[in-house]
Amino acid sequence: MEEIINYPKHLAIIMDGNGRWAKKQGMMRIFGHESAMKAVRETVEYCVENHISYLTLYAFSTENWNRPAIEVNALMELLIKFLKKESKSLNENNIRLKTIGRLDHFPKKAKETLLETIDKLKDNTGITLTLALGYGAREELSTAVKNIAEAVKNGLISTENINESVINSYLYTSDLPDVDLLIRTSGEYRISNFLLWQIAYSELYFTDVLWPDFNKNHLNEAILNYQKRERRFGKTSEQLR
């Protein structure tokens, strides 16, 4: 692999293409989701090996509840299977696990397994792996607005003091830095309601590779591409130099 000097601190991935991958194999969609676990494992390993501090994976959106019940149920079982199978490895690699989104509608067993795993790994100090589950950026922002309005009503905040920092403190990701690099697999060119606030100045990278086929080499290509970009954050090239 070509040497990389500048790694993103926070990498986020929209893991897309499982269904199409399965269809190509003549299998049901859930087979694609099961096969995608290898890509998750390789991505986590890469982040550990290269000291990428934060990895956020879009695992299940608020809109995904609209999928057929048989697929949703299979995804919940797959989440439980993943957590139980990978818990030991995550712990051995000093990985902290967290989740963003709403777990209200999650089956009891899936929710309990997730929270138990998060608690088991809470004292780890390596990379932070965040699973976006029952997550939607518009819902996140709506919830933040409601909570800020309630705080104003109760005299905890004045409207004059509401700024980006205050808004950020009410988001699910309040303890995470903004995303440096957002990757979406499968050839789709959209954000799909993912981390809309947090990617304001992120670099975006789209690849035609379907998620189950995504591996360390593909991730390395994405990060090499990221390394060659000039992140100006509203400034000019001359100012940066």
Burial class (CB in 10 A: 0-12, 13-18, 19+), 237: exposed
Q: Is 20 annotated as a binding residue?
A: yes
Catalytic residue among 16, 93, 180, 213: 16
175 is catalytic: no
Q: Is 112 annotated as a binding residue?
A: no
64 is catalytic: yes
The DSSP output letter for 211 is G
Euclidean distance between CA atoms 130 and 59, whole angstroms: 10
Q: Is 241 annotated as a binding residue?
A: no
Q: Is 168 annotated as a binding residue?
A: no
Euclidean distance between CA atoms 49 and 119, whole angstroms: 24
Q: Is 33 annotated as a binding residue?
A: yes
Catalytic residue among 64, 168, 220, 225: 64
Q: Is 126 annotated as a binding residue?
A: no
| 3-state SS record for 69-90 | HHHHHHHHHHHHHHHHHHHHHH
Q: Is 221 annotated as a binding residue?
A: no
- What's at 187, amino acid-wise? G
Q: Is 229 annotated as a binding residue?
A: no
Q: Is 231 annotated as a binding residue?
A: no
Q: Is 211 annotated as a binding residue?
A: no
* DSSP per residue, 117-186: HHHHTTT--SPEEEEEEEE-HHHHHHHHHHHHHHHHHTTSS-GGG--HHHHHHTSTTTTSPPPSEEEE-T
Q: Is 86 annotated as a binding residue?
A: no
141: its two tokens: 């922002």
Q: Is 192 annotated as a binding residue?
A: yes
- The two beta strands, 181-184 and 10-14, are parallel
Active site positions, annotated: 16, 64
Binding-site residue positions for substrate: 17-21, 29, 33, 61-63, 65, 67, 184, 190-192
Binding-site residue positions for Mg(2+): 16, 203
Binding-site residue positions: 16-21, 29, 33, 61-63, 65, 67, 184, 190-192, 203
